[in-house]
Chain A
């Protein structure tokens, strides 16, 4: 099951939940993408799958539309059992590192703003917000009449206390992005919060608006209590209330009859932890489990064959790629381009992923507004690859491996131990590269070692490594490419690891572009910037982009309202879910 936390996808651009919010609503571009019938394909038929395409419905959450489901009247009540292969580390919203943590929290907690199923941001706990024209302050108007599960009122104080906790150095929040830009926080009245910044930071709304707000009543009990107690027994303003968390077994949630958007129809939701993917299939088959998410592509057919289940496939924001350490012959642009030509992406998608992926050319997802549709992927063309290498002076040696100035074109190709799909992919790539005279030695290691200070990134041999990054909702990609993200030591932080030994040949350009990307407010202008970045990435091939993962979900055929997407946590609209009669 491939989510950000699985081997295969380091929690790079951590979790969809942090991201959020583009400036779409802000500048009135709600209709930027045209509406197209929401998931008409999602009902009926045993082999039906549906694709979430970029759509904008303009519907408010809670609308009458019931995407998915077999139609018909919905009934009150019922239990839904979500079977997941992972257990949250903690249900503290600021400490969990796992997508499953954010997913389960979406039953209980809410953020100020929320992306809908099309990636457009709408109000949630804030009924409106406003950005100052200079981009240096944001005003959130909070909803009135919202109550915490302990009965207290939701006010500006909760937002302020959440901010204080996230920024408290003794607490150690997992992610402070956006929040660390705030220089001043004010509450003119009980239901208004004003954040002031000292520089323009375009992803602010996505980051801050998408953060779960915690109750002041829990936050003011102190760091220790908030970490330990709240992390095991969270409560919020959301559609379900926390009942219990039995370690290693399940989390139970009951419908919150006082939920501000109306009491949810499903009476109880159980999140059951089943570590083995075969057992998950068995549980769904036997009827003990109802819902599964982020299922392996290899299991797709198993689930499609289940008569009472529906399989839903959506695009994701996770991109699988090979990073190329910027060292030695890998610093030569023609070499990197040649390797790109010699990587059989479509074959990998068709044969290994059984078609459950789309080819990628850069780091911004086709479902994002910042995606540049004009870039064609390099075709799989061994002849062009050979020619590029020949022209660069790399000639085949006696053993068939190319060499130049006595140096052989040999590199280590790393993968994550236990990630079988990844291993198959790397084998295909190594075999293909061999044909153009490049020797790739396969190596596998567990993910912590791979990403630790003794990982492959910090050795002075040429390496490539296959893994996925998981984007946030804002296209900001500073983390991957900017020179400030090059770790200063093997224990340092930052995502631009391939440039550890040498900055990229296009480093200055990409630094300038990513900086402009976050300091520009106008969305059209930002789009132009990200289009340029994607062209730059495609031209220079700092990494070999291979594919965008698909997300595969399985739910009961008679479940209405389940409409998963790549922008929101699993239960974002759970108050609209119901069984049909």
Chain B
């Protein structure tokens, strides 16, 4: 298992370099450029423009720019943000904790509820509960986050006045309770869309397993229904689900853009969106590399969990 993990991690290195190269080239292909706004702004002279390009390193040929970036990456230096004039690592690390809190909370809620709903819906297939869960799931999948978020804000923030509508903390507050209050709506919003998809997944894969031969055999042997369910059915049904979760979670590490925007949550999704809008290439590259690493790690962890769930799977 350890050797397998090390091999996978080593294999990821060329992958990340490949991803970064492709990202870098794509950004170069995008028309415009980080200096486009400078050139059209308030009487900036060509000399000033040249100085800005020099400062940004944009006067160098593209391959040189890329190698320079890669060399610095090895030193843990992701460059300087064009827009903020600060190291990209600082810019990203500031946002990372709040993203982890939001995504962690949202996906934990989603995981628990999706499992519960999925399992119950599968066990009581075609019952009233199953139909209700299905209906809610379709609603959850179809509903736009920006609309749903706004409705929650209006209900819980404005009408009932129970919860704050946006931000991560009230002014001057840093306490846990304050954080949880602010977290409630965005985390729930993030969870709802996810629960919908995941619970459908759990339900269908559980239904498939329940009708397998080995379940019938277990029943025939007189194993208790509870044991059959937990030991045999659920455990096997979770294997494909783990793959889905392993892919989804890292996507959210940089992907909760809409939820973060609606709830003014200071996370990475907004940072990434802003960096795209302002052509802040160093920040874009930094986030892309980070998210590639997160996806690769997510997949690796998912694969390792397989082995725990399914004794037939071993890595050597």
Is the CB of B41 closer than 8 A to any CB of chain A? yes
In this complex, what residue of A is CB-closest to B92? A247
19 A-B pairs in the complex with CB atoms less than 8 angstroms apart: A10-B40, A12-B42, A90-B84, A92-B85, A169-B51, A172-B48, A173-B48, A175-B42, A228-B85, A282-B166, A286-B161, A286-B165, A448-B277, A449-B36, A451-B37, A453-B31, A493-B39, A494-B39, A495-B40
Q: Using an 8 Å CB-CB cutoff, how does the interface string of A434-465 with B read, 1 for contact, 0 for none?
A: 00000000000011111111110000000000
* In-complex Cβ contact of B52 among A89, A172, A227, A472 (8 A): A172
User: In the bound complex, what is the Cα–Cα distance between A487 and B49 (angstroms)?
Assistant: 12
In this complex, what residue of B is CB-closest to A476? B43
User: In the bound complex, what is the Cα–Cα distance between A472 and B42 (angstroms)?
Assistant: 9
Instruction: Check B46–A492 contact: CB distance below 8 A.
Output: yes
Is the CB of A479 closer than 8 A to any CB of chain B? yes
Chain A residues closer than 8 Å to B262, beta-carbon distance = 276, 278-279
* In-complex Cβ contact of B41 among A81, A97, A231, A279 (8 A): A97
Chain A residues closer than 8 Å to B265, beta-carbon distance = 248
Instruction: Check A172–B55 contact: CB distance below 8 A.
Output: yes
Instruction: Check A495–B43 contact: CB distance below 8 A.
Output: yes
In this complex, what residue of B is CB-closest to A81? B171
Is the CB of A18 closer than 8 A to any CB of chain B? yes
* In-complex Cβ contact of B85 among A12, A90, A273 (8 A): A90
| Interface core residue of A248, A451, A452 (most chain B CB under 10 Å) | A248
Q: Given A282-B154, A286-B157, check contact A448 B266 (CB 8 Å).
A: no
User: In the bound complex, what is the Cα–Cα distance between A487 and B40 (angstroms)?
Assistant: 9
Instruction: Check B171–A283 contact: CB distance below 8 A.
Output: no
Chain A residues closer than 8 Å to B171, beta-carbon distance = 79, 81, 250, 252, 268, 270
What bracket does the count of chain A residues touching chain B fall in? 35 or more
User: In the bound complex, what is the Cα–Cα distance between A309 and B164 (angstroms)?
Assistant: 19
In this complex, what residue of B is CB-closest to A5? B37
Give the residues from 1 to 37 in chain A that come closer than 8 angstroms, CB to CB, to chain B: 10-15, 18
User: In the bound complex, what is the Cα–Cα distance between A454 and B28 (angstroms)?
Assistant: 13
Give the residues from 13 to 47 in chain B that come closer than 8 angstroms, CB to CB, to chain A: 30-33, 35-47
On B, residues with C-beta under 8 Å from A are 30-33, 35-49, 51-52, 55, 83-86, 91, 94-95, 98, 146, 150, 153-154, 157-158, 161, 164-172, 261-267, 270-271, 274, 277-279
Give the residues from 161 to 177 in chain A that come closer than 8 angstroms, CB to CB, to chain B: 169-170, 172-177
Shortest CB distance A374–B (Å): 29
Shortest CB distance A403–B (Å): 32
Q: Given A247-B95, A248-B271, A282-B153, check contact A452 B33 (CB 8 Å).
A: yes
User: In the bound complex, what is the Cα–Cα distance between A248 and B101 (angstroms)?
Assistant: 15
User: In the bound complex, what is the Cα–Cα distance between A4 and B37 (angstroms)?
Assistant: 12
Instruction: Check A493–B44 contact: CB distance below 8 A.
Output: yes
Is the CB of A131 closer than 8 A to any CB of chain B? no
Instruction: Check A276–B85 contact: CB distance below 8 A.
Output: no
User: In the bound complex, what is the Cα–Cα distance between A452 and B95 (angstroms)?
Assistant: 29
Q: Given A249-B169, A282-B166, A288-B164, check contact A493 B266 (CB 8 Å).
A: no
Is the CB of A52 closer than 8 A to any CB of chain B? no
Chain B residues closer than 8 Å to A13, beta-carbon distance = 42
| Interface core residue of B31, B40, B51, B172 (most chain A CB under 10 Å) | B40
15 further A-B contacts with Cβ under 8 Å, apart from A11-B37, A448-B32, are: A14-B42, A170-B51, A170-B55, A173-B48, A177-B42, A248-B98, A248-B267, A248-B271, A250-B167, A250-B171, A274-B264, A279-B263, A288-B157, A492-B49, A493-B46
User: In the bound complex, what is the Cα–Cα distance between A485 and B95 (angstroms)?
Assistant: 40
Chain A residues closer than 8 Å to B31, beta-carbon distance = 449, 452-455
Instruction: Check B44–A89 contact: CB distance below 8 A.
Output: no
Chain A residues closer than 8 Å to B271, beta-carbon distance = 248
Shortest CB distance A19–B (Å): 10
Shortest CB distance A579–B (Å): 16
User: In the bound complex, what is the Cα–Cα distance between A272 and B166 (angstroms)?
Assistant: 10
Instruction: Check A276–B41 contact: CB distance below 8 A.
Output: no
* In-complex Cβ contact of B43 among A10, A177, A450, A452 (8 A): A177
Shortest CB distance B267–A (Å): 7
Q: Using an 8 Å CB-CB cutoff, how does the interface string of A251-291 with B read, 1 for contact, 0 for none?
A: 01000000000000000101011111011001101101000
Chain B residues closer than 8 Å to A452, beta-carbon distance = 31-33, 36
Instruction: Check B150–A12 contact: CB distance below 8 A.
Output: no
Chain B residues closer than 8 Å to A372, beta-carbon distance = none
Shortest CB distance B67–A (Å): 23
Chain B residues closer than 8 Å to A231, beta-carbon distance = 84-86
Q: Given A89-B83, A247-B266, check contact A279 B150 (CB 8 Å).
A: yes
User: In the bound complex, what is the Cα–Cα distance between A95 and B51 (angstroms)?
Assistant: 13
Instruction: Check B267–A448 contact: CB distance below 8 A.
Output: no
Instruction: Check B158–A282 contact: CB distance below 8 A.
Output: yes
Chain A residues closer than 8 Å to B33, beta-carbon distance = 448, 452-453
Instruction: Check A453–B165 contact: CB distance below 8 A.
Output: no
Instruction: Check B165–A282 contact: CB distance below 8 A.
Output: yes
In this complex, what residue of A is CB-closest to B266? A248
Instruction: Check B264–A487 contact: CB distance below 8 A.
Output: no
| Interface core residue of B44, B46, B153, B266 (most chain A CB under 10 Å) | B44
Instruction: Check A273–B264 contact: CB distance below 8 A.
Output: yes
Is the CB of A581 closer than 8 A to any CB of chain B? no
Shortest CB distance A367–B (Å): 20
| Interface core residue of B36, B42, B161 (most chain A CB under 10 Å) | B42
Q: Given A247-B91, A448-B36, check contact A279 B83 (CB 8 Å).
A: no
* In-complex Cβ contact of B158 among A275, A285, A491 (8 A): A285
* In-complex Cβ contact of A275 among B52, B157, B264 (8 A): B264
Chain A residues closer than 8 Å to B158, beta-carbon distance = 282, 285-286
User: In the bound complex, what is the Cα–Cα distance between A454 and B32 (angstroms)?
Assistant: 6
Instruction: Check B43–A478 contact: CB distance below 8 A.
Output: yes
Is the CB of A526 closer than 8 A to any CB of chain B? no
Chain A residues closer than 8 Å to B264, beta-carbon distance = 249, 272-276, 279
Chain A residues closer than 8 Å to B277, beta-carbon distance = 446, 448
In this complex, what residue of A is CB-closest to B52? A172
Chain A residues closer than 8 Å to B161, beta-carbon distance = 286
Chain B residues closer than 8 Å to A446, beta-carbon distance = 32, 277
In this complex, what residue of A is CB-closest to B42? A14
In this complex, what residue of B is CB-closest to A246? B266
Q: Given A90-B85, A452-B31, check contact A169 B47 (CB 8 Å).
A: yes
Give the residues from 282 to 314 in chain A that come closer than 8 angstroms, CB to CB, to chain B: 282-283, 285-286, 288
Instruction: Check B43–A451 contact: CB distance below 8 A.
Output: no
Instruction: Check B44–A175 contact: CB distance below 8 A.
Output: yes
User: In the bound complex, what is the Cα–Cα distance between A494 and B271 (angstroms)?
Assistant: 30
Chain B residues closer than 8 Å to A90, beta-carbon distance = 83-86
Shortest CB distance B249–A (Å): 21
In this complex, what residue of B is CB-closest to A176? B48
Q: Using an 8 Å CB-CB cutoff, how does the interface string of A478-509 with B read, 1 for contact, 0 for none?
A: 11000001011001111101000000000000
Q: Given A247-B91, A279-B263, A455-B32, check contact A479 B83 (CB 8 Å).
A: no
